[in-house]
Structures are given as structure tokens and as C-alpha cells.
Structure 1
Amino acid sequence: MAETELNFAKIVANPTPLGWCQVYSAGKLFAAISLEKQEEEGEKDYLNVVGKEILNTLEQEFFILEKKDLDSIKEAVLTTSKKIPEDVTVSFVIGSIVNNIIYVYIVGNGRVDIKREGMLGTILQAQDQANDALSQASGYLQNKDVIILQTKAFSEVVSENTLSEVLDNTSIADAAENLAPMVHEKENPLASAILAGYREMAQKAFYEKGKEEKTEEEEVKKEETEEKANQNYFESGENYSSDLAYKPKISLSFLNKLNFLKNTGLSHTRKIILTVVVIIVIVFASSIFFALQKQQNDKLVSEFNRVFPEASRKYEEGVSLSEINPTLANDSFKTARKILDEGKNSFPKDSEYSKKINDLLTKIESEIGSAPQTTSASAKEVSASESEYLSFRLKNNASYFAHDENNVYFATSDEISSIAKESGTSKTLIENDNYWESIGGLANYNTNLYVLDKENNQIIKFVNSGSEYSDSNYLSESAKSDFSDAVSIAIDNNIYVLFKNGSVSKYFRGSKQDFSLKGLDKQMSSPTKIYANPDFDNIYILDNGNSRILVFDKEGNFKAQYQTNVLKNAKDFEVLEKDKKIFVLSAGKIYQVDLK
């Protein structure tokens, strides 16, 4: 059987307190899952914790199976499903490929599609199925098949026609990149899918000059031998003795030394008997020696197969999570490192075992070193003069503020005013002549001002002509969104709108852009301010409920977070990115937090 290769691409929606989804892959096992509850109560990360436990259980139950077939994997899935709480609605779709056979299972609801030779078909679908109900199917795969495991929500967001068109003449990575914006635009926290590309690798042919072609029987034996040698250890628990075991060579030169029997004066018959006895003794001693060697090597192989595959699975899990949830990815990398550190001393230092372990440790350390870090920051109180913006903010009771190099701007329901930083002179810039009804944010860009109107779901742009400001609607009719839960806006050439559930919408020249925040370890809680600047590399968000400031790059990828108690009741903050400082206004005082 030809050697096979699997590639994965993943699409995961952003979670909410009532909805969570994820995808998983390790070796030839992969899955998509979503969890939903009806009421927001108890632990904030309840669904995340439950989901992680379900996936960990699936991994453990699957990889301890000695034989992997439809029934044995089904039992592993049923055992895993017992971890699903009664108050949670699940869509759990699992796939496993053994040799060239795919086994698929659905707990709750979901769908499995396959793309083959330009045609998209459904292998298995479950609708209106209870949490404790299980559907299953299996079949043979062909080269270049693409398998799509989808939660129920994903199959509702992305139609079969759309899925088929996106998969035409493109890689699964490109397909996932094209599908992700469709999922994020719908803001359904239950939509996730994993795409698996199946490939049969061409076998290399070897020819020996001057030898006749091998018989069909010999070729079959060779294929069977190669198949066993090429099995993936994740799936088959392959014994590594074939390429790692110590293989001592036997030297028969000692037979030449038996010539001493020629000069003993013994009869010819007795010489033969004595020679045979000596040979038997030597062979017996050698067999004992080699048996001990084999026993020792078998112990090493057994220990290696216990340590290395488990660590490799955790490493691959971390890689698959690195773009989705860097914190969970880091946990997986650290678990893999711990497994290897505890087991590496069981092997000779210069052995192939140690070499493979050290190579994997190097990869793990590299991933841990590049992972975004959570920083428990210290906040020190500083004088008001350290931040001109916050010192003016401290003295004013307006709800919304913005500032530039020269002025601080503040808005009320009646007007927008400014205060000159240098002189402290204030003046009214714009009186509210029915321009806005319910203000939800204020921002400035160049000399223009922007007001978010929550009531009319619009961003009003005020252009500074020198002597007065003229108003216009920034958003086109097609780009208008529900701003009733908006809490802040920021501008860096794009406009970012922060909502109280922690989501962020991005607009450019009046049109909504494909954008979402990625990689958070837990959902935001009561965020109040988003901060951006054309000269900054990053976007900053004040997440009061979790006492932290979050840092994202301009593509929405999580980079870091700074946690300190003063952020719990913070009213505003200012970032000096070049100086690596954040100033925070909290409880009537100004604090400094250093950026790493």
C-alpha cells in the first residue's frame, strides 16, 4: 500500500459566553466540535473548559486502542461523549483514517462531506439528533480526496454550493482562508470545520543491474514489508526496533583458533567430538549474550514507544492550536517538553533514541520561545504631568475623549469641545444640531472628528475646513451595523469599533472589512476602550472585567496581555509605544505600566 499524507486546514468562529467551537487534529485523528448553553451562569470559561476536556478524552481513548476499526473507534467516541454535560447542546464530528479507510462519527448534529474529482458529496449527516445519539459511516479513500468535518452551525452558514466552489482548483489552506471571512461575518460562535487533504505518496522504484525481475509473489511480500515499515506510529504503535535497535555483528574468526586440537595427541574421533563441544559452548554463550542484548533493546524500544509518540502528539496539537489559541498551544508544548524531559534519561546519550528526542525538544523550545506571553504587570503611581491627556481627562466629567499632539477632545450629548494641551484653553467646536442621538464613541484623525451614533447605527464624520466643521455620514447604507452595544472607536486610517461582548468591527472608506480578533485565551469581560494610532504597530484594548490590557497586531492576531489590579476600575488609558509605556487612569490616579 502506498504511503499516505494528510494535510489539515481549519476554520473556527470566535467564542461567546453561550457558544464555543474548536477543531482538533493529531496524527490520523481529527474532529470539529461546538458547544452551546442557554443561560450565562457559573464559570466564565465553562464551555472552553468542557470542550478541552472532551477533546483530551477523545485523544486518550483513541490512542490507547490496539486495533483501530469502525467498532473500536466507536467505543472510544461513546466513552468520550459521556463527558458532555446534560445542559450543553453539542455538535461533535470525528474522523479517523486507518490505511486508506475513513471512519466518521457524529455525536449530536453535524455533517461530513467529501470532495472527489471535482464533485462534492455527503458521507454522513445528522440533524435533530440528541446529544447521546451517535451516527457512523466508513468508506475507502482515493488519492486527492478532501474530507470536510463540519459542525451543524458551519453547514448552515456555508452552503454546499459555496463549499464546492471554494474547493475547486485551490489548496485546502486557500479554501479555509476564503471561507473564514464568511464564518466570522455571521458571528455564529458555533461554526467550525476542519478540511483534511488525503494524498497517496508515490513509491520510489529500485533496480539492481544484472538481476532478473522479481516474481509477483516476491513483490507482494516486499509491499507488505514496506507497508509495515512505513506505518505511522500514531496509528499503529509501530515498534521502532527496525531502525533504532542495536544490531551486533557476529565474527566467526574464532574457528581458526581451534587448530590447537591438532597437537593434543588425541585420536581423530575425539578431536571431532571435542571440537563440536567447544562450538556448542561458544554458540550457547553467544546466544545468551545476544538474548540479553535483545532484552535490553526491547526495553528501550518499549520505553521509546511510550514516550516519543505521546510527546509528538502534544507537539502537533500545539502547532495546530498556535494560530487559534496561543495560550492552549503553549500548554500543549510544555506538556510535550515535560514528557520528553522525564523520559530522556532512559536512553544512551549517543543513541538514535536520544537524537530523535533531542530533535523534538529543539522544535518544542523554539515554539515555546515564539509563543505570545501573558505578563503580570506592575503598575506604579505617577504624577499627572506624565500624561497630559489623562490629566485633562481627570478634571473633566465628559463620557468620551480623544486626543492628538496638541489637543484633547471631549464629547457630551450636547457638544464636542477641545482643550489645548499647552495653554489649557478650551472651546466649543461642534454643537449638536441633531447630528447624533446617542453617542457611543469619539475619535480624531488628522484634523477631522468622528462620532459613533448608537441610535442611528452610523459614524458621523466632521471635516475641519479651518473655520467650521461640516458633517457627513461615514458608513455606506450597506455597511451599517447594529451599534447599540458599541462602547468605543479608534482610528489609524481604518476605523475600529469595540463592542461590549469583546468583538471588534473594522471599516475602511465607509465599507466593512473582513476582520476579527484571534488567539485570545478567554473571552473579554466588559471592555471599555480601544486604542489605535497610524504610527503604532498594534491595537490596544482595555478589558476591565479581566483586569488586563490586550495587544493585537493590525491583522487582529493576539500578541500579549498585561494584567494588573488597577485595570479593574480603569476609566481610560494612553499608550506611548515607542517609549514602551502605558498610562492608566484609575480611581482618580494615574499609573504607569511598562511594555515588554
Structure 2
Amino acid sequence: MKLDIAKIVGSLSDTGWSQVHSFKPEDQVKFNSHGELLAAVSFKAKTEIDISSFGAEIIKRLQEIYYSHEAESVLKKLNQTCETLAAEFLDQVELEIVALAVWQNYLYAAKNSGGQVWLKRGEALVKLFAGEGLTTASGKLIPGDWVVAVTGQFGQLVTEGSLRAALGETSAAAVGESLTAQVHGHDNNSQASAIILKTEPEAKPAAALPKELKIFAGPHLNKRRRSILTVGLVLASIFILSLVLSGRKKQAESGRQAYQAVVDEVNYKLDEASSLLTLNPLRAKALLQESQARIKEYKEKERKPGREILDLEARIAPALEQAQREYRAEAVEWYDFNLVKDGFRGGNWDLSGKEVLVWDQTSQTAVLLNLETKAAKEIVSGEDLGRVQTIGLTDERGFIAAQDKVTVVDTAKEKIIAAVDADEWQKITTARGFGGNLYLLDASSDSQIWKYLGLEEGLSSKRSYLAGDSFDLSEAMDMAVDGSVWVLFSDGTIVKYTQGKKDAFQVIGLDQPFGEAVKIFTSPEVEHLYILDRANTRVVVVDKSGEYAAQYQWSGIAGVKDLVVSETLKKIFFLTGEKVFSLDLK
């Protein structure tokens, strides 16, 4: 495959330097084992140095380290080259390397810190690196692919939209010319560099027409001439046979190299994934899925994959299951509310510490249940509580929210403290207690989350929690509070508010989208968010930065009304009406 290459480099400064390097070894043995090396490199000096000569030394060492590396896997060679080079110059500069190797129509990429590699195939433009730090990626190239390796500063100066527009050009040189102008339009560009390459099919030489060869043999030829002809035919046959055998040998060697490349690459990714299963399961999962795809691609070409390939495939399956953290289990019956009150059917609840306050609309009764001891008691009941919509709990204060009022209950003394009339509420669906205060979710198209401060004699007047005039909360399904307020919407979107203002949050790493997300739970005592997806009969666990952590599947989730979680007790508790079921956390 032919590469059309262009390079972009920023301007030299007193402390900043950048460069682009590409090298294709003339030594065929090195080319066959290492491929073609390309890199975008930059640094910021930590000490007083000769910037230009220091940069030249870094480029020299990059090439030396890579082509002297004897590891079988190209990806391992590239990854360890980045790591070694950065460590070698650690005391003098903050070095950033984004390196590529193109070997047998495959792209291998590695970086040591910032930077990115973009791949454009057809109309799709994607990033190959998902995170910061030492990272690798690989995949097969096809004619027409664009690959752009950029340093971190280049990525700050050139937007994704600008890059996409530039890649509409037909040649790498034209793309480079367009983007160079953008980079040099900024004063601070000394650490910006990029290497651009476009893959093109190798031009096939026109097949030479065979010269006409006429051989006549017959009675008119004398014996000597017939002998010469016979020898010529034998020599020609031997020559043709040697060509065939040589071709088969080359084909076999090429096949062996391709097989070994797959084995080495998958082995390397599998080892890296194994080391990341606990620290970074999302990255481990990506590496394992890449390995699966690589093996599948190889098997589609080879009818009989070798034993090593099959063994690797067998190792990937359990590791991927561990990385995906998908657990299928049967929840066990943990508590029956008939033990505290006959016919009690819990509809919703709220957790504070180790206790949940549970409400049954039919009997109009609130029960307090200890999740550690299973001790339960009836707190309050009666028609005068009104038509209750939801219930909240914080410390020893319970809040029973009806259409027209909130009743405040002292759960320790089992008595009502106060009743606060509704104040222009529209549709209260969720109550949550936190820090002695009450939060009410008003799920209407033009409404708010109302906050009431806890007072000794009851509650303060209401105040708007969300900063702004009005919000559309009509599709809000549930709410959780841990200092921030988390609102779950019917499409599975989770919106985080901190001090009344919308905060950045997005769920990442979830393979299957939410089907029917109806409940969300978190608290200051837990490190994760727990989302009940009724349609997919699962609880999805994500950390508070949004990264997928695990999921628990149980067929009984279809009948669950609410959930709470204690990471101290390592259990998920499900409210199903008359009973509580529990599922152990892994």
C-alpha cells in the first residue's frame, strides 16, 4: 500500500519545539520486521538547552530505539519505544510522542501522554485513543483511509470541524497546506505538529506481453538439433518449476509472518488488558474487543487457524466477561413486610444511613426498616396524611409528601412534628432527604426542584434549587441527592446539578442503551450511581464521573418498584411490594 504523506510543524520558541519524522528502512529485513515509522513529536524544555540540537537528538533516538527493538509484536515495539524515549529525556524536557508504524497494510499507533490519532474512512472521522497517558491502538488500513497523528497543542489549535473540512481535499499536501495556515495563525504554536497520510493502492505494472516463441520439431531436424531442443525444454521446465517453488515458499513465509503478527498483537493486548481489568476496565474491554475483531478477521481468511489462535480466543472470552462486568444472578428474599404489618405493600422508599422509610398507599402507613438488623416498626399512619405521592428521609426526619402538603415525622419518637402546605406545586413525583433538608422534584414542563431547609419546628418556606426561571422536568422519572442532585429522564439521560447549576456529566462505556430507566440511586455513602433499567431487567452501575462500572441482571427486576444500595453491606435492595429482595455486589 502506498502512503501519501504531509507534515505540519509549529514555529520554534525559546522553550518549545515540535517535529514530524517519517522513515522507511532500505534494509528489507528491517522493513519486513518493523515496517515504516512515522511520528509527531514535541517538547517543552525544563532546563536551559539548545532546543534545535536537542530535538535532533530525540528524533535520532526515536529511530534507533524502534528499529533496534527485538520484540515480536510491532505494537509492543512501538509502545515501549514511546515509553523508553520519554524516560530517557525526562529530566530535560516534557516530551510528547505520537508514533505510527505501517506494517503489511496494518496501522499501529502509540502515544506516551497527550496527542491523538484521527482516522477518516469514508464520511466517518473517529479518534483512535480514548484516554490520556500511555495508550495504543491498531487496525487494518484500506485504500482511501486518512490518518492524522497530532500532538496535544495541535489538537487545541485545530478543531475537529476544521480537520474534517480539510480532509475533503484530494491530496495530503493540500490538507497540510490548509491546516498549516491555521496552526501558524496562532502565536503559541511551538509544540504543535502533525503528520498526515493517505493510503493509496500500489500501482500495478502492466503485464508484459509474451514474445511469440515457435518451436518446430520434426523429421527434417537432424539429431543434434533435436538434442539441443530437448536440453532447452528440460532447462526451461526446471526454471519454471523453480519459479513455482520459490513463489510457494514466499507465500508460505508471508502466511507465517501474518499468523505470527496476529499472535503477537493479540498476546500483547491480552496481557495489557489483564493488567487493566481492575484499574481501567473500560480500556481493558476495548483492548479485548480489538483482539476479538483481529482474530475474527484472520479466521475469515484462513480456514484452519493454528492452535495458538484458538487458545488466545479461548482466553479472551472469560477476560471480556470480567471486563464487561455483567453479572447474572438470582436475588434472594430478604424481608417480608407482613412481619411488621399484615397486608403492607411498599410502593416507594428513601434511605438515610442504614434505615429506609417505606410507604404503603393502601394502608396509608409508613414503616422504618433497618437494613443491617432487619428491625422494623410502624412510624405513622392515617387518612389525615392525605393522598401521598412520595416519601423522603434524612437522619431521623421523615417527609411524607401528598398532593396538598408535606408531613414531617420524627422517626425516633414516632410522631408528627409539622405539616407544611403545598405552595404552587404542580406534579410532585419524588421526595429526597439530604443533610436535614427536603428536595421535591416537580415533574412538569415549567417547574423546579424545590428545596426546604430543615428547622427544629419543621421546614422553612420553599426556595428554587435550580438556578434559572423554569425547566422542563416533564420527562423526569426519579431523583437522587448526594450533595449534587441527579435527575433521571425517561430516555435514560442523567442530568447532574451542583449548587443549582447544571454540571458536566455523561454516561460512557455502556454497550446497550437504557431501555426503560425508571429509578436512580446514590448517596454520600456510595461511590456509584445505580440505575434501574426495567425493560432490560438490569441495574446499571456507573461511577460519578460517568464511566460504566458494572451491571446486574435479574429477571425479577421487571416487578421492582424501587431500589437502594449499601456498598458497606455490599448489597442492592429491591422493593417489590410486600417483600424486599437483595442481590450481592461483586
Give the TM-score normalised by the residue count of structure 1: 0.50
1:44-123 matches, cutoff 5 A: 63=141, 68=143, 73=144, 95-97=145-147
How far residue 341 of structure 1 moved from its aligned partner, in angstroms, is 10
Pick one of 266, 280, 299 that aligns with 2:252: 299
Change (3 A) 1:508 1:26: closer
Provide the C-alpha distance between the structure 2 equivalents of 1:473 and 1:164, rounded to a whole number of angstroms: 52
From 346, 351, 356, the equivalent of 1:389 is 356
1:518 and 2:514 are equivalent in the alignment: no
Structure 1: which amino acid aligns with 2:528?
N
* Residue 4 of structure 1, aligned match among 38, 43, 46: 38
Amino acid at match of 1:485: E
Residue-by-residue CA offset, 1:79-117 (whole Å, 9 max, x unaligned)? xxxxxxxxxxxxxxxx524999xxxxxxxxxxxxx9899
- State the match for 1:594 in structure 2: 584
Number of the residue aligned with 1:250: none
Q: What residue is the counterpart of 2:538 in the other structure?
A: 548
Query: 2:172 aligned with 1:140, yes or no?
Result: yes
Change (3 A) 1:523 1:300: same
Give the counterpart of 2:441 among 452, 468, 481. 452
Does 2:452 align with 1:462? yes
| 3-state secondary structure, aligned to 1:302 | helix
Taking the TM superposition and a 5 Å limit, the aligned residue runs for 1:548-587 are: 548-587=538-577
Q: Report the CA distance between 1:471 and its aligned residue.
A: 2.8
Deviation at 1:539, TM superposition (A): 1.1
DSSP 3-state at the match of 1:308: helix
Residues 297 and 488 of structure 1: is their aligned pair in 2 closer, same or farther, counting only changes over 3 Å?
A: same
Q: Secondary structure at the match of 1:567?
A: helix
Closer/same/farther in 2, CA of residues 336 and 27 from structure 1, 3 Å limit: farther
Indicate how the Cα distance of structure 1 residues 459 and 512 shifts in structure 2: closer, same or farther if over 3 A, else same: same
Q: Distance in 1 between matches of 2:552 and 2:185?
A: 43
Structure 1 pair 125–401 and aligned structure 2 pair: CA distance change class (3 A): same
Is 2:573–2:581's contact at 8 Å kept on the other side of the alignment? yes
* 1:145-184 correspondence runs (5 A): none
- Name the CA shift for 1:361/1:563 in 2 (closer, same or farther; >3 Å): closer
1:372 partner amino acid: Q
Q: CA deviation at 1:454?
A: 2.8
Cα distance in 2, alignment partners of residues 33 and 425 from structure 1: 63
SS of residue paired to 2:257: helix
Tell me the secondary structure at the aligned position of residue 375 of structure 1.
Answer: strand
Q: Distance in 1 between matches of 2:389 and 2:184?
A: 49
1:199 to 192, 195, 201: 195
1:390 shift after superposition: 6.3
Q: Distance in 2 between matches of 1:166 and 1:525?
A: 46
| Structure 2 CA distance for partners of 1:313 and 1:540, relative to 1, 3 Å | same
Q: Shift in Å at residue 557 of structure 1?
A: 1.1
- In 1, the alpha carbon distance for the partners of 2:569 and 2:319 equals 28
Residues 315-354 of structure 1 aligned to structure 2 (within 5 Å): 331-336=289-294
Q: Does residue 439 of structure 1 match 2:425?
A: no
Q: 1:383 to 1:478 in 2, by over 3 A?
A: closer
AA partner of residue 454 (structure 2): N
Structure 1 position 323, deviation (Å): 9.1
How many aligned residue pairs are there? 378
The match for 1:371 is 323
What letter is aligned with 2:170?
S
How far apart are the structure 2 equivalents of 1:362 and 1:140? Answer: 42
What SS does the corresponding residue of 1:471 show, helix, strand or coil? coil
Deviations 1:290-327, CA, capped at 9 Å, x for gaps: x99996675243143257359959998999xx998987
Residue 506 of structure 1 is matched in structure 2 by 496
Q: How does 1:306-317 map to 2 (within 5 A)?
A: 308=261
Separation (CA, whole Å) in 2 of partners of 1:560 and 1:120: 31
In structure 2, runs of 5+ residues without a counterpart are: 1-21, 24-36, 41-97, 100-115, 126-137, 203-240, 274-279, 340-353, 365-386
CA contact (8 A) 1:497 1:505 kept: yes
Partner Cα distance (1:577, 1:120) in 2:
41
Displacement of 1:462 = 0.5
1 CA distance for matches of 2:557 and 2:522?
18
Judging changes above 3 Å, is the alpha-carbon distance between structure 1 residues 117 and 400 closer, same or farther for their aligned structure 2 residues?
closer
Residue number among 526, 533, 538 corresponding to 2:528 in the alignment: 538
Q: Is the 8 A contact 1:310 1:336 kept in 2?
A: no
Aligned residue identity for 1:521: D
Distance between the aligned counterparts of 2:360 and 2:298, measured in 1?
A: 53
Structure 1 residue 377 displacement after superposition: 2.2
Q: Is the 8 A contact 1:439 1:451 kept in 2?
A: yes
Residues 98 and 557 of structure 1, relative CA distance in 2, 3 Å threshold: closer
Tell whether the 8 Å contact from 2:285 to 2:320 is kept in structure 1 after alignment: no
> CA 1:328–1:401 in 2, change beyond 3 Å: closer, same or farther?
farther
Equivalent-residue separation in structure 2 for 1:417 and 1:382 (angstroms):
29
For structure 1, the residue ranges without an aligned partner over 5 or more in a row are 9-24, 35-58, 74-94, 101-113, 127-134, 149-160, 173-196, 201-230, 238-287
Residues 554, 487 of structure 1: CA spacing in aligned structure 2 closer, same or farther, 3 A cutoff? same
- Please tell me whether the aligned partners of residues 390 and 573 of structure 1 are also in contact (alpha carbons under 8 angstroms): no
- TM-score (structure 2 length as normaliser): 0.50
Read off the aligned partner of 1:383 and give its amino acid letter: Y
Change (3 A) 1:514 1:427: same
**Aligned partners of 1:420, 1:579: CA distance in 2, in Å?**
26
1:274 aligned partner: none
CA gap of 1:165–1:594, structure 2 versus 1, over 3 A, is: farther
* CA–CA separation in structure 2 for the residues paired with 1:566 and 1:116: 49
Q: How has the CA–CA distance of structure 1 residues 531 and 168 changed in structure 2, closer, same or farther, with 3 Å as cutoff?
A: farther
